[in-house]
Structure 1
Amino acid sequence: MSNIYIQEPPTNGKVLLKTSAGDIDIELWSKEAPKACRNFTQLCMEGYYDGTIFHRVVPEFIVQGGDPTGTGTGGESIYGRPFKDEFHSRLRFNRRGLVAMANAGPHDNGSQFFFTLGRADELNNKHTIFGKVTGDTVYNILRLAEVECNRDERPLNPHKIRSTEVLHSPFDDIIPREIKVKKEKNKGEGKKSQSKATKNFNLLSFGEEAEEDEEMASQVSQTLKGKSKSSHDLLKDDPKLSSVPVVDRSGKNLLHINNSAFYCNVKITRFLLSLKTLALLERFKSKLSSAISETPSVPEEDVEELGEDDDKGWMAHVLQFDEQTRKVKDANMQDEDTFEIYDPRNPVNKRRREESKKLMKEKKARR
């Protein structure tokens, strides 16, 4: 496994993704895939991925995200159009933790990207690899895949990217664009004036009459201030009104009674079914015991004929297994197939070797 990391070229650039599953550190291969790395770095600087979800999860394969629409069909690159693929001979889909561009065909790269969860040789020369997940944050991409998905590989409760941070940019000439975002209204514009509103009667064509009407309205409002009453206060002493509520609350009680009756019927039905099952079991036991006791002793060759005449024949049949004798050779027997195992560590063999050495030395000395 270490040979894989030795073959990969050195990285230049680092980006931090803060997701709902934890932080993910991504190191970039900016020399091997400059267009993809520039696109990804600038989009992270602009906050393009903030709030986007991981809309596609394939267990033990990939986790895909980077679409602001969340449908898997949106997103665009910083170039205003799809950019070309960038393949490198030393970058292969041979492990998990690789970051690559998602596309719908050759040279159709936008803003979407994916993490690999394992080896994926079928993606080689089809998708641009531009980064890798480093450190213990690789376990957070595994947490991204621990979600329940439907048949379309879409997670029911998807994780999302909360924010992005460029820790080290490999490109010094990147100028982030101004993305249209809904700005909050200025607090100064939202403040309301605390002064009381007054009418300028000098601007009205009928100023004196309007001023008189205004004075009368203010007097009436002052006299009626705090004296307003609701219909309950005005009609509480009316003898024609009834204190009984119009809403019939017996419906809830009837519903409760119906539900309890339904559950009682279900319990009774289950109890009757269990009794019926036990009765059938006892009946089968008695039938089996009677068949065994009534069957005469016949040879094994005639058991099949009895089974054809009577349906109880199989009950009296005894299941017997054929004993398979194993042909095992005795280790103590010496024959043409046996052979001797020589162990040099055996003390007897050591003593024999020493004796043979002495004999050889004596022979050489005699010569």
Structure 2
Amino acid sequence: MSSVYILEPPTSGKVLLKTTVGDIDVELWAKETPKTCRNFIQLCLEGYYDNTIFHRVVKGFIAQGGDPNGDGTGGESIYGEPFKDEFHQRLRFTRRGLLAMANGGKDDNGSQFFFTLGATPELQDKHTIFGKITGDTIFNMLKLEDGLIRDERPIYPHKIIKTEVLNNPFADIQPRLRQVEVKEKKKKEKKPGVKNFKLLSFGEEAEEDEEESTRVNEKFVGKGKSTHDVLDDPKLSSKTEDVDEENDDVEEVNPEEQLESIRKKLKREHKKPVPTSTTTAEPIDTYESFLEEERREKKKKQFEEIQKEIQNVKKEYHKNKLKKKEEDIIATEKKVQEDKTIQEYKDEFDKYKNKKDALPKKGAGREQFTLNLLEKFKKKIQSMKDGEENEEDNEEEQAWLKHRLCFQDKNPVLAKDANRKDDDWFEIYDPRNALNKRRRGETVEKFKK
């Protein structure tokens, strides 16, 4: 599969499709298919694909969308007419996740497109490939073939919610303004209802009552109606009661006096003693007491748990403190040891430095010093050979002299006596030997014969 991806050219545009199955990232081959990519990007910028469905799904083959009608019969390009196919030799239907244009024949491209759900070599040189799905969003695209599908049409189709152009290779694209037609709602004229009294069992009586009520309504059109107008009751009179037209002079009330009276009333109400309840408090119910005991027990348990946690934290703190102290002690000891080693190294370095400084410079003195050292070394070797130890040697010289000079021992080494059994003696026992067989009481077969 790696060879397939290497053959495809690099992309130069990117669009994000927000669908009901999740986001789908689409990268476009704008250099290889400029007309198709320009058409697709401009339609995305105009929101042409918003709320359109994937109206055709063939499992393992394609998932088709981009039709505003939702049935595969609609859709138009930005050019106002179908545009030509654009084929490229490095773009082939060899895998899933490719984006191509749907058409009804040669050079019949509009707005509809489809995603491949597998390798579709039979579509080669028939449909224009102009993009591919990238990243993990290909798994969202594969969800388009899930669900109930009947005659290549999903029963519950997924749709494109929104499109976003993330990388536009065509800087000169200007989205067209879409004209939205506002349809005026016509008000329905209400027709007066016609009453059909023939449908009722008492239709004749109801019809007479209706006629009488219409006559009365016509009589009192524009006038207020009362019960004596509608009913023929002798007790009800249509005459109105005479009202005395004498207008009593209403006494004008001073607002300040009114405020003062309100204040006095409030003071009186404030001074009234609050009636104390003579009834004694009712005893606490047993159920309430039981609930109170449960609450106390819960609080007690919570308090004990908190105490335990505090003790555990204290123990952990002390343990960590002791551990830290031990680590500090080990670190100090290690540091002391390192300091001691460094000091020994420094002392040794200073000693040999002083010795080096004590050496005479080049000349006659240096030659004599070397001859004296050589003579001293000869004497030391002779004394070691004779078995005598030179006590005059300095302790400093003995310190670096770790190995003694040993010579080869020329004394003859005697061979071991085979008749003497030492600690390293071992006996060879062969069971096939005739002597060993006689010792075990076995007889030789030839004697038996």
Output the TM-score relative to the length of structure 1.
Answer: 0.50
Higher-Rg structure is: 2
Output the TM-score relative to the length of structure 2.
Answer: 0.41
Structure with more relative contact order (C-alpha pairs < 8 Å, separation 6 or more): 1
